[in-house]
C-alpha cells in the first residue's frame, strides 16, 4: 500500500517536506481538535436560507483556511484527492435541477446543488485538517482521559472511536492505490471508473476490518 503526503486525510508530521517547522495545531489536545472540527462540519449543514447558508459557509471556510496556514499545509491541501467525490455529489444534485418537460434547468435546484457541494467541501476540509495534524493514537489517548474520569474503561469507547476514525484515512489510502492501479492499466476517469472501483474499495475495507477484529481478539480486546 502506497502512502504519501498527498494521500487524502493523511497525517503530516512536523518536519514533513510539505510543512515548515512545528505547528501549534499539532500541539493542541487531540480531543479539542476533534470536537472543534466536528462542530465546524456539523455547522456547515445547519439549515437556513440560501443567503444564510452561503454566509455561514464563507465563515467556516475562512476559519479552515486560517487554520490550514497555522498548520503549515495551506488551503489547497485541504481538498487534496477530493475530485471524484465532489464530481459524483455535484452531478447527482445537478440532475435534480434538470427538468425534462419542458426541458430546463431549475435555478433553485442548481443553487441547492452548489450549496450542498460547498457543505461537503467544508466538511471534507475539516476532516483533512484534523487528520493532517492528529494521529489515531493521539485521539485515543485524549479520549481515554474522560473515560477514566467517568470510570468507563471497560466500555473501551476511546478505542472504538479511534478505530472508527482511523478507518477514514485508511479508506483514502485504499482508494489511492486502486486509482493508481486503474491508471496504470490505461483506465479513464469516467462512470465505469466509479462503478468498478467503489465496490473494490468497500471489499478491501471490509477485509481490513475483519483482519483488525481478529488481531484485537487475539490480544484479548
Instruction: Express each pLDDT in 106-135 by its tens digit.
Output: 777 778 878 888 898 899 899 888 888 888
Q: What is the mean pLDDT of residues 166-194?
A: 78
Question: How big is the CA angle at 52 (ends 103 and 58), to the nearest 5 degrees?
Answer: 95
Q: What is the mean pLDDT of residues 63-86?
A: 83
What DSSP state is assigned to residue 151? T
* Whole-number Cα distances in Å, 64 to 60, 115, 188, 199, 214: 6, 17, 33, 32, 38
Of 163, 99, 103, 168, the C-alpha closest to 131 is 168
- Of residues 181 and 100, more confidence is placed in 181
Polymer length of the chain: 221
Question: With 50 as the cut, is the pLDDT of residue 211 above it?
Answer: yes
- Separation of alpha carbons 88 and 44, rounded Å: 19
Instruction: Assign 66 a pLDDT band (cuts: 50, 70, 90).
Output: very high
Question: With 80 as the cut, is the pLDDT of residue 17 above it?
Answer: no
Range of 13-22, 161-170, 201-210 with top mean pLDDT: 201-210
* Whole-number Cα distances in Å, 202 to 53, 88, 89, 179, 195: 33, 17, 18, 14, 12
- How many CA within 13 A on the CB side of residue 45? 9
Question: With 50 as the cut, is the pLDDT of residue 1 above it?
Answer: no
Q: Under 8 Å CB-to-CB from 161, ≥6 apart: which residues?
A: 139, 140, 143
Residues 126-173 have pLDDT tens digits of: 988 888 888 877 887 777 777 777 676 666 666 677 767 777 777 777
The predicted pLDDT at position 2 comes to 46
Q: Under 8 Å CB-to-CB from 184, ≥6 apart: which residues?
A: none
What DSSP state is assigned to residue 155? G
Cell 452548489 locates to 114
Phi first, then psi: give them for residue 2, nearest 5 degrees. Answer: -95, 130
Amino acid at each position: 500500500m502506497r502512502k504519501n503526503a498527498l494521500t487524502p486525510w493523511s497525517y503530516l508530521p512536523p518536519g514533513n517536506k510539505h510543512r515548515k517547522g512545528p505547528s501549534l495545531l499539532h500541539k493542541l489536545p487531540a480531543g479539542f481538535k476533534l470536537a472543534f472540527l466536528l462542530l465546524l462540519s456539523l455547522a456547515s449543514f445547519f439549515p437556513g436560507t440560501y443567503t444564510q447558508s452561503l454566509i455561514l459557509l464563507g465563515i467556516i471556510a475562512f476559519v479552515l483556511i486560517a487554520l490550514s496556514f497555522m498548520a503549515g499545509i495551506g488551503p489547497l491541501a485541504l481538498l487534496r484527492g477530493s475530485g471524484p467525490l465532489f464530481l459524483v455529489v455535484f452531478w447527482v444534485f445537478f440532475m435534480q435541477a434538470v427538468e425534462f418537460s419542458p426541458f430546463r434547468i431549475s435555478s433553485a435546484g442548481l443553487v441547492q446543488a452548489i450549496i450542498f457541494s460547498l457543505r461537503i467541501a467544508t466538511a471534507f476540509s475539516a476532516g483533512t485538517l484534523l487528520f493532517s495534524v492528529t494521529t489515531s493514537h493521539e485521539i485515543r489517548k485524549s479520549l481515554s482521559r474522560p473515560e477514566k474520569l467517568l470510570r468507563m474503561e471497560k466500555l473501551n469507547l476511546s478505542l472504538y472511536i479511534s478505530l472508527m476514525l482511523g478507518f477514514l484515512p485508511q479508506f483514502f489510502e485504499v482508494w489511492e492505490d486502486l486509482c493508481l492501479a486503474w491508471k496504470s492499466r490505461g483506465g479513464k476517469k469516467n462512470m465505469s471508473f466509479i462503478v468498478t472501483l467503489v465496490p473494490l474499495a468497500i471489499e478491501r475495507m471490509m477485509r481490513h476490518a475483519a483482519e483488525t477484529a481478529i488481531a484485537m481478539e487475539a490480544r484479548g480486546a
